[in-house]
Amino acid sequence: MAAIASFSLLRSFAATTARAFLTVKPPSTVSSACLLPLRSRRLQFNASATNNEEAAARESAANADSGAPTIFDKIIAKEIPSSIVYEDDKVLAFRDINPEAPVHVLVVPKFRDGLTQLGKSEARHGEILGQLLYAAKIVAEKEGILDGFRVVINSGPDACQSVYHLHLHVLGGRQMKWPPG
Protein backbone atom coordinates (compact mmCIF):
# COMPACT_ATOMS: atom_id res chain seq x y z
CA MET A 1 0.00 0.00 0.00
CA ALA A 2 2.83 2.36 0.94
CA ALA A 3 4.54 1.55 -2.35
CA ILE A 4 1.36 2.32 -4.31
CA ALA A 5 0.93 5.60 -2.43
CA SER A 6 4.53 6.56 -3.15
CA PHE A 7 4.20 5.85 -6.82
CA SER A 8 1.04 8.01 -6.89
CA LEU A 9 3.02 10.79 -5.20
CA LEU A 10 5.78 10.30 -7.73
CA ARG A 11 3.30 10.53 -10.64
CA SER A 12 1.58 13.65 -9.39
CA PHE A 13 4.92 15.29 -8.61
CA ALA A 14 6.06 14.67 -12.17
CA ALA A 15 2.81 16.07 -13.57
CA THR A 16 2.95 19.30 -11.57
CA THR A 17 6.63 20.04 -11.99
CA ALA A 18 6.40 21.06 -15.60
CA ARG A 19 10.01 22.00 -16.09
CA ALA A 20 11.65 19.14 -14.21
CA PHE A 21 12.42 16.15 -16.38
CA LEU A 22 13.04 12.61 -15.22
CA THR A 23 15.13 10.93 -17.87
CA VAL A 24 16.49 7.44 -17.65
CA LYS A 25 18.84 7.61 -20.64
CA PRO A 26 19.92 11.21 -21.12
CA PRO A 27 23.06 11.39 -23.25
CA SER A 28 23.30 15.17 -23.07
CA THR A 29 23.56 15.48 -19.33
CA VAL A 30 26.31 13.00 -18.57
CA SER A 31 29.93 13.63 -19.44
CA SER A 32 30.51 14.55 -23.08
CA ALA A 33 32.50 11.33 -23.52
CA CYS A 34 29.31 9.55 -22.69
CA LEU A 35 27.27 10.67 -25.71
CA LEU A 36 26.29 7.07 -26.03
CA PRO A 37 23.09 6.21 -27.83
CA LEU A 38 21.74 2.68 -27.67
CA ARG A 39 23.88 0.33 -29.73
CA SER A 40 20.96 -0.34 -32.06
CA ARG A 41 20.76 3.32 -33.16
CA ARG A 42 24.22 4.75 -32.89
CA LEU A 43 24.80 8.36 -33.87
CA GLN A 44 28.05 10.12 -34.70
CA PHE A 45 30.35 10.34 -31.69
CA ASN A 46 33.98 10.40 -30.60
CA ALA A 47 34.72 6.72 -30.89
CA SER A 48 37.85 6.46 -28.72
CA ALA A 49 36.55 8.57 -25.84
CA THR A 50 33.21 6.83 -25.94
CA ASN A 51 34.77 3.39 -26.12
CA ASN A 52 36.80 4.18 -23.01
CA GLU A 53 33.71 5.42 -21.24
CA GLU A 54 31.71 2.44 -22.40
CA ALA A 55 34.43 0.01 -21.30
CA ALA A 56 34.59 1.69 -17.88
CA ALA A 57 30.79 1.59 -17.60
CA ARG A 58 30.72 -2.11 -18.49
CA GLU A 59 33.47 -2.88 -15.99
CA SER A 60 31.53 -1.03 -13.28
CA ALA A 61 28.37 -2.89 -14.25
CA ALA A 62 30.15 -6.25 -13.99
CA ASN A 63 30.86 -5.58 -10.30
CA ALA A 64 27.53 -3.90 -9.61
CA ASP A 65 25.98 -6.60 -7.48
CA SER A 66 29.09 -7.67 -5.56
CA GLY A 67 27.79 -5.97 -2.43
CA ALA A 68 31.11 -4.18 -1.98
CA PRO A 69 30.86 -0.61 -0.65
CA THR A 70 30.61 1.99 -3.38
CA ILE A 71 32.24 5.40 -3.38
CA PHE A 72 28.83 6.74 -2.33
CA ASP A 73 28.74 4.41 0.70
CA LYS A 74 32.02 6.00 1.76
CA ILE A 75 30.60 9.48 1.23
CA ILE A 76 27.50 8.55 3.25
CA ALA A 77 29.74 7.19 6.03
CA LYS A 78 31.70 10.49 5.85
CA GLU A 79 34.88 8.52 5.18
CA ILE A 80 35.26 10.59 2.01
CA PRO A 81 34.49 14.32 2.17
CA SER A 82 31.73 15.82 0.09
CA SER A 83 29.84 19.07 -0.14
CA ILE A 84 26.50 18.19 1.39
CA VAL A 85 23.45 20.12 0.21
CA TYR A 86 20.71 18.19 2.01
CA GLU A 87 20.50 15.28 4.42
CA ASP A 88 17.82 13.42 6.34
CA ASP A 89 17.68 9.95 7.84
CA LYS A 90 17.06 8.24 4.48
CA VAL A 91 18.67 10.49 1.88
CA LEU A 92 21.94 12.32 1.28
CA ALA A 93 22.44 14.99 -1.39
CA PHE A 94 25.93 16.24 -2.23
CA ARG A 95 27.62 18.13 -5.06
CA ASP A 96 28.96 16.11 -7.97
CA ILE A 97 32.76 16.15 -8.09
CA ASN A 98 32.64 16.69 -11.86
CA PRO A 99 29.72 19.08 -12.42
CA GLU A 100 27.99 19.24 -15.79
CA ALA A 101 26.03 22.39 -14.88
CA PRO A 102 26.36 25.27 -12.39
CA VAL A 103 24.18 23.20 -10.07
CA HIS A 104 24.89 19.47 -10.16
CA VAL A 105 23.87 17.59 -7.05
CA LEU A 106 23.61 13.83 -6.53
CA VAL A 107 20.76 12.48 -4.42
CA VAL A 108 21.34 8.99 -3.01
CA PRO A 109 19.59 6.61 -0.63
CA LYS A 110 21.66 6.11 2.52
CA PHE A 111 20.67 2.44 2.59
CA ARG A 112 21.22 0.88 -0.83
CA ASP A 113 18.98 -2.15 -0.19
CA GLY A 114 19.65 -3.70 -3.61
CA LEU A 115 19.16 -0.41 -5.45
CA THR A 116 22.36 -0.55 -7.44
CA GLN A 117 20.44 0.96 -10.34
CA LEU A 118 16.88 2.02 -11.14
CA GLY A 119 16.55 -1.01 -13.39
CA LYS A 120 16.89 -3.23 -10.31
CA SER A 121 14.10 -1.51 -8.38
CA GLU A 122 11.16 -3.51 -7.07
CA ALA A 123 7.73 -2.54 -5.76
CA ARG A 124 9.09 -2.54 -2.19
CA HIS A 125 11.39 0.36 -3.17
CA GLY A 126 8.48 2.66 -3.99
CA GLU A 127 8.69 4.65 -0.78
CA ILE A 128 12.41 5.43 -1.02
CA LEU A 129 12.07 6.24 -4.73
CA GLY A 130 9.40 8.81 -3.85
CA GLN A 131 11.58 10.20 -1.07
CA LEU A 132 14.54 10.57 -3.44
CA LEU A 133 12.42 12.44 -5.96
CA TYR A 134 11.03 14.73 -3.29
CA ALA A 135 14.57 15.31 -1.98
CA ALA A 136 15.51 16.38 -5.52
CA LYS A 137 12.82 19.07 -5.29
CA ILE A 138 14.16 20.20 -1.90
CA VAL A 139 17.65 20.44 -3.41
CA ALA A 140 16.31 22.49 -6.33
CA GLU A 141 14.57 24.80 -3.88
CA LYS A 142 17.68 25.21 -1.73
CA GLU A 143 19.80 25.88 -4.82
CA GLY A 144 17.33 28.45 -6.18
CA ILE A 145 16.61 26.60 -9.43
CA LEU A 146 12.92 25.80 -8.98
CA ASP A 147 12.16 27.72 -12.18
CA GLY A 148 13.83 24.96 -14.17
CA PHE A 149 15.90 21.95 -13.33
CA ARG A 150 16.47 18.47 -14.64
CA VAL A 151 16.53 15.16 -12.79
CA VAL A 152 18.50 12.42 -14.47
CA ILE A 153 18.99 8.77 -13.61
CA ASN A 154 21.50 6.76 -15.61
CA SER A 155 20.54 3.11 -15.33
CA GLY A 156 22.93 0.47 -16.60
CA PRO A 157 25.91 0.35 -18.94
CA ASP A 158 24.01 1.52 -22.04
CA ALA A 159 23.31 4.73 -20.11
CA CYS A 160 26.96 4.95 -18.96
CA GLN A 161 26.09 4.52 -15.30
CA SER A 162 29.44 4.53 -13.51
CA VAL A 163 28.52 4.20 -9.82
CA TYR A 164 26.28 1.29 -8.91
CA HIS A 165 24.47 2.90 -6.02
CA LEU A 166 21.22 4.45 -7.25
CA HIS A 167 21.50 8.21 -7.58
CA LEU A 168 19.57 11.09 -9.07
CA HIS A 169 21.47 13.86 -10.79
CA VAL A 170 19.85 17.27 -10.10
CA LEU A 171 21.07 19.68 -12.76
CA GLY A 172 20.32 23.37 -13.22
CA GLY A 173 21.58 26.92 -13.21
CA ARG A 174 21.76 27.05 -17.00
CA GLN A 175 19.30 26.65 -19.85
CA MET A 176 18.63 22.98 -20.48
CA LYS A 177 17.93 21.82 -24.03
CA TRP A 178 15.21 19.50 -25.19
CA PRO A 179 15.54 17.03 -26.73
CA PRO A 180 18.77 16.40 -24.81
CA GLY A 181 21.83 17.26 -26.83
Q: Is 86 in the site for ligand 5GP (CB under 6 A)?
A: no
Task: Identify which of 70, 39, 61, 71 has the alpha carbon closest to the alpha carbon of residue 157.
Answer: 61
Site for ligand 5GP in 11-30 (CB under 6 A): 30
Of the residues 56, 96, 114, 121, which one makes contact with ligand 5GP according to CB under 6 A: 96
Q: Is 71 in the site for ligand 5GP (CB under 6 A)?
A: yes
Pairing of strands 149-152, 20-23: parallel
| Residues forming the active site | 167
Site for ligand 5GP in 101-120 (CB under 6 A): 106
Measured over the CA atoms of residue 140, residue 20, residue 176 and residue 171, the dihedral's sign is: positive
Q: Is 68 in the site for ligand 5GP (CB under 6 A)?
A: no
Of the residues 25, 118, 154, 171, which one makes contact with ligand 5GP according to CB under 6 A: 154
Of 40-48, 128-136, 138-146, 159-167: span binding ligand 5GP (CB under 6 A) = 159-167
Applying CB under 6 A, the residues found at the interface with ligand 5GP are 30, 71, 80, 82, 94-98, 106, 154, 160-163
